[in-house]
Chains A and B, each alone.
Chain A
Amino acid sequence: MRTAANALLAGEPRALPALPTCALLGGGGAALVGYVLGAASGEPWLAVFAAIKVPLLVVLATLLCLPSLYVVNTVLGLRADLGLALRGICAAEATLGLTLGALAPLTLLVSLSVFDPYLVTLLDGVLFAVATFAAQKVLARHYAPLVARDPRHRVALRAWLVLFVFAGIQMAWVLRPFRGTPGFPVEFLRAEAFEQNAYVVVFEHFLRLLR
C-alpha cells in the first residue's frame, strides 16, 4: 500500500497504481477526514454520514465536470489524448483523498483547539485547498508529457481546475453539514440542501461584515 501511495504521489504517468488501489487510497483518506470532521460534533451518526459524504463530494464533483472535460478536449482538438487525461484526473482525485486523510490528525487537533466557528470553517477551507493543491500538482505531472506534445493541453488543465473548484465548493455546500451545528438535527442532508448557493451565502456574509 505504501509503495502504491508513493507511486501515486510521485505522479509518474506510467507507474499509476491500479484503479481499485487508487480508489482505496483516495476513498479511505477522504472517509477518514470525513469521520474526523463529523466526530467533532460528538454525534456518532454525523461522523458516519460525513465519512460517506466527503468521498461522495470528491466523486460527484469529478463526475459533474467530466462532460465538460470531454467537450473542452474535443473543442481544443485533443480528443486523442482523452484517455491519458482521464488517468491523470483519476490520479489527482485519489491524491486529493489521500492528502485529506493525511491531514485528518491535524483536523482533529483543530477541532480540539479552535472554538471560533468562523475560524474553524476557514481552516476547513484551508484543509481542502491544500489537498486540492496536491491533487493539481499530481495532475500537472500527468499532463506534463501531454503539454510537451501540444501546448493546448495547458488550457484544458487550467479549465479543469477552475471548473472542479467552482463545482466542488457548491457540491460541498449541498452536502453539508460535515461538522454539524449545535442545535440542528442530525441528518444526512439539510432539508434546504438544494435551496441556497454557496457563493451567494459567502457574499452575504461579506456584506454583513462590511455593514
Chain B
Amino acid sequence: MSDSLTHVNESWLATLDRVLRGCFVAAENAPDGALAVPLRRLLQLGLTLGVIAGACIGVYALFHGGDAPVLRVVASAIKVPLLFLLTAIVTMPSLYVFSALHRLPVDFRMMLRLLLLSVLVHLAVTASLGPVFAFFCASTDSYPFLLLLNVLFFAIGGLLGFAVLRRALVAVEKEARRILTVWCVVYAIVGLQMGWLLRPFLGRPGVPFAWLRAPEDNALVAILRTIGELFGA
C-alpha cells in the first residue's frame, strides 16, 4: 500500500503494470483524497500509448495505398492522444459538477487522476490490440470491416477502463456508482462523436488525404451506414 507511494523512479513499464493491476485505485489508497500517482508520468504514458495505438490504426494507409501514406500514419498517431484529451476536456466539468452536487468524497484533482487512470487503461488495452489491428489491416481488403473492428477495439478498451474506475469507487456509496455509470455513457457518446469529428483515422481508399474532414452526420449514423455497407452492397 504505502510502498506504492514511493516508486517515483520506477520504469514506465512498471508504472503501467501497476496502473493495469489497479494498485493506484485500491480502496485503501483512494478514499483519503490524495491519490498517489505521479501525474506527469501518467501523462507521458498516456501520450506514448496513444501514439502507438494511433500508429497501428494509421498502418492501414501503408497497406492500402493512397497519397501520403506516411503522413496518414503520423496524423493518426497525433489524433488518437488528441481524441482522448478532448473527450476528457469535454466531459470533465460535468462529471465534477454532478459528483460535487451529490457530495461524492472526491475532489476535482482526485477526479482528474481517477479519470486519467481509467483513460490510461483504455489506451493500454487499445494499444495492446494495435498489432492485431495492424495484422488485420495487412490482410483485409474490406474497409467497413476494419472501421467497425477499430470501433470495437476502442469499445473494449473503454469497457475495461470503466471497470477500473468502478473498482476505484466501489468503496463509495451506490449513488456514486449510479452517477459514474451515467457519466460513462456520456463519455462513450462524446468519445465516439469526438472520434467522428477527428476523422479520418483509417482514411477511405481513394479519398485524398486530409487532416480533418468537414463535420457531417454523426458517429451513430456513420456506424449504422458502415454496418449496412459491410453486409449490404
Residues of A within 8 A of B (CB): 2, 5-6, 9-11, 95, 98-99, 101-106, 108-109, 112-115, 134, 137-138
Report B-chain residues with C-beta under 8 Å of the C-beta of A114: 218
Q: Is B153 an interface residue (CB 8 A)?
A: no
Report B-chain residues with C-beta under 8 Å of the C-beta of A109: 90, 190, 193-194, 197
B215 touches A112 (CB 8 A): yes
What residue of chain B has the Cβ atom nearest to residue A107's Cβ? B90
**Could you say which of B89, B216, B218 contacts A105, with CB atoms under 8 Å apart?**
B89
A99 touches B100 (CB 8 A): no
Report A-chain residues with C-beta under 8 Å of the C-beta of B196: 113
Please report the C-alpha to C-alpha distance between residue A98 and residue B227 in the assembled complex, in whole angstroms: 40
| Interface SS, A side | helix
A106 touches B94 (CB 8 A): yes
What residue of chain A has the Cβ atom nearest to residue B96's Cβ? A102
B100 touches A10 (CB 8 A): yes
A106 touches B97 (CB 8 A): no
| Interface SS, B side | helix
Please report the C-alpha to C-alpha distance between residue A116 and residue B74 in the assembled complex, in whole angstroms: 34
What residue of chain B has the Cβ atom nearest to residue A110's Cβ? B193
Please report the C-alpha to C-alpha distance between residue A115 and residue B197 in the assembled complex, in whole angstroms: 13
Report B-chain residues with C-beta under 8 Å of the C-beta of A112: 197, 215
B174-224 interface (Cβ within 8 A of A):
186, 190, 193-194, 196-197, 215-219
B78-101 interface (Cβ within 8 A of A):
89-91, 93-94, 96-98, 100-101
What residue of chain A has the Cβ atom nearest to residue B98's Cβ? A134
A103 touches B193 (CB 8 A): no
Please report the C-alpha to C-alpha distance between residue A98 and residue B93 in the assembled complex, in whole angstroms: 10
B93 touches A102 (CB 8 A): yes
Q: Is B145 an interface residue (CB 8 A)?
A: no
A134 touches B90 (CB 8 A): no
B93 touches A101 (CB 8 A): yes
B94 touches A6 (CB 8 A): no
3 A-B pairs with least C-beta separation: A102-B93, A9-B100, A105-B90
